[in-house]
Copies of this chain bind each other. A is one copy, B any other.
């Protein structure tokens, strides 16, 4: 909403087929909204028939938990999200962020920035750990280094991804993968196996002993 000229009127006029996720970010969270009235406008959006989910920041949820009740009274689910734009928190901190987002939200969304490749692995691990505890997770390792996380996070349990509809590079952040390419990647990566839901221990799924790689 913070990037639209007149978001509530535009919501009224929306005639697309897809349901919407509403966000209204302040500058602090990478957006452009001013604080005053921000949550009121987001709450108004949550009353739109087109909006099925509202995304609110963990910090906001923590300080103003009442707003989640208001969203839910309006019949939408809540994504509680956390972004770190400069780095990827350490393992224990990451796990705690997922847990807290999951306590407040229906979906725990965590987006981190990798400074090196192993930072991507740390996020994937936390996605997997949180998923196994029963949290519905969306996890993204941002930027170019983390780009492949968008295609493989579903394998680790991530249930929600973000992809631009068009191939217009100006429209998306570094690392984002256009929708059709992402769809193909995820399908191809999981073609031989249904996505092995991370909640089901793999130990229970015996696999035939296989020959050596040659």
- Asked if residues A118 and B128 are in contact (CB atoms below 8 Å), the reply is yes
A100-113 Cβ-contact flags toward B at 8 Å (1 or 0): 00000000010101
Contacts of A174 in B (CB 8 A): 192, 207-208, 210
Interface of A is mostly: loop
When chains A and B are docked, how far (Å) is the Cα of A198 from the Cα of B115? Answer: 11
* Given A116-B201, A143-B207, A83 and B121 contact (CB-CB distance below 8 Å): no
Q: Which of A7-15, A22-30, A42-50 contacts its partner?
A: A22-30
Smallest beta-carbon distance A93→chain B, Å: 18
Given A140-B213, A188-B185, A208-B174, do A193 and B147 touch, yes or no (CB 8 Å)? yes
Task: Report chain B residues within 8 Å CB of A203.
Answer: 115-116
Q: Which residue of B lies closest to A21 (CB)?
A: B214
B116 touches A202 (CB 8 A): yes
| A58 CB → nearest B CB, Å | 13
Separation of A211 and B21 alpha carbons in the complex (Å) = 17
Q: Number of residues in A with C-beta < 8 Å to the partner?
A: 60
- Closest chain B residue to A1, Cβ basis: B214
The answer to whether B202 and A148 have CB atoms under 8 Å apart is no
Q: Is A125 an interface residue (CB 8 A)?
A: yes
* A residues apposed to B, CB below 8 Å: 21, 23, 25, 29-31, 55, 83, 85, 109, 111, 113-118, 121, 124-125, 128-129, 140, 142-145, 147-148, 151-152, 155-157, 162, 173-175, 181, 184-185, 188-193, 196, 198, 201-203, 207-214
Beyond contacts A117-B157, A118-B128, A142-B213: 8 other A-B pairs, Cβ-Cβ < 8 A, are A25-B214, A83-B212, A116-B201, A117-B124, A145-B196, A151-B189, A173-B211, A174-B207
